[in-house]
Amino acid sequence: MVPYDLLREGIVVLGVVFLVVVILAGVFSSPQYPPVTSKQMGYAEPLATMQTAATVLAGQCETETYGPPYNKNGAPQEIFGIAPASWFGVQIPINAKQEFVLKPLEAVAKINKEVAQALELYKSAPLKQQQEWANNYNNMLAKVTQKDGAFEGMKDGDFGPVPVLVEGILMLSKSGLLEAAQNMTAWNPYIFNYTNSLLFIQNSGLNTVATKLDMQGTQMGISHETGPWPGAWWLWPYAGLYQIPPMLTSNNGDIQVGAIMIMLFLILLFLPFIPVLNRIPYWIPLYKLFWRDWYKRDKNK
């Protein structure tokens, strides 16, 4: 038997790999795209920020109609009639209108008289009136376009205090304080949960940014870096399933892909015990190719 120093071999391989990684990182670097914040959105896409706030007030944002774990307003994803999300129910209760818009504006109202008056008028109005104002303004904003920083198509209407509230959100966004106002809790100034601000920006411009960086689900985005760079290659099977019908267009795509991945994992785990499948190595003896040196030494195997 030939002596073999496994420890030395491991150290040498680790050192070589580390050196190669450092050299490649220095030569090619990595496309570090700056974090997308509400402040950036406020300046770059003010119309999108306003439209998102108006959509939230109108009760039409994606979060408001998502269902568990945020609320009971939407149907959870299911497969074969099984909806695991419904088993756990609402674990992260979110009132989008209150958390994304009204709560941040309550902080602004303490120092801005105009916002305070608009907020008081809005809260004192019947729910039906609030909804009518928000719908009217939301429908109007949907037809507005932005060109060179200016809005085209803005019109007057029966909007009540909603325009002031929406502009208050835009003001907060440009100041860089919107995220803190949306995430603030009784534990301030220590904020560890950014769910509210992330969901709000997801409803506005984050999808646009993701598309430009090739990071949408339909672009295998979860499996690569920003831009056309390789990333988490081990997620290729998972991301690839999203490109195949019916997962590509299904409202239950997430749970369908998850179920398929679980099934494939279980097949691999119990492969030695599954009839027919456990005979594949005998029919296709690839192991003899991989261990050909050993088989050359022992011809009887």
**What one-character DSSP code corresponds to residue 146?**
E
Q: What pLDDT does residue 271 have?
A: 92
> Residue 292 is inside which H or E element, if any?
helix 292-297
Residue 82 pairs in a beta bridge with 79
Domain identity same for 79 and 149: yes
Q: Which of 211, 233, 252 is the last residue of a domain?
A: 211
CA–CA distance, 69 with 78 (Å, rounded to integer): 14
Q: Same structural domain for residues 237 and 250?
A: yes
Distances (CA, A) of 162 to 55, 64, 122: 11, 18, 8
289 in a domain, yes or no? no
3-state helix, strand, coil in the chain (%, to 5): 60, 5, 40
Residue 274 lies in a domain: no
Q: Are residues 262 and 181 in the same domain?
A: no
Neighbours of 195 (CB within 10 A): 14
88 and 177 co-located in one domain = yes
In a domain, 99, yes or no: yes
Claim to verify: residue 189 and residue 252 sit in the same structural domain: no
How distant is the alpha carbon of residue 263 from its chain centre? Answer: 25
User: Among 165, 193, 211, where does a domain finish?
Assistant: 211
Residue 107's CB is within 10 A of a number of other CB atoms, namely 16
Decide if 298 is inside a domain. no
* 144 and 167, same domain (yes or no): yes
Cα distance between residue 204 and residue 47, in whole Å: 9
Which amino acid is residue 63, in one-letter code? Answer: T
For residues 218 and 230, membership in a common domain is answered with: yes
Burial of 168: CB neighbours in 10 Å, binned 0-12, 13-18, 19+: buried
Same domain, 112 and 233: no
Count of CB atoms situated within 10 Å of the CB of 281: 13
- 184 shares its domain with 263: no
Say if residue 229 is in the same domain as residue 83: no
- The confidence score (pLDDT) of residue 25 equals 81
Closest CA to 27 of 35, 19, 16, 38: 19
Based on the fold, state whether residues 233 and 102 are members of the same structural domain.
Answer: no
Number of compact structural domains in the chain: 2
Per the domain annotation, does 300 fall within a domain?
A: no
User: Which residues form the domain of 162?
Assistant: 38-211
- Domain for residue 52, yes or no? yes
- Same structural domain, 177 and 246: no
Residue 288 maps to a domain: no
Judge contact between 137 and 60, C-beta under 8 A: no
- Residue 291, in any domain of the structure: no
Q: Chunked in runs of 10, what are the mean pLDDT values of the chain (301 residues)? A: 77 95 82 81 91 94 88 88 90 93 94 96 96 96 88 93 97 93 80 90 79 80 71 86 91 93 95 93 89 76 52
* Domain finish residue from 164, 183, 211: 211
pLDDT of residue 298: 65
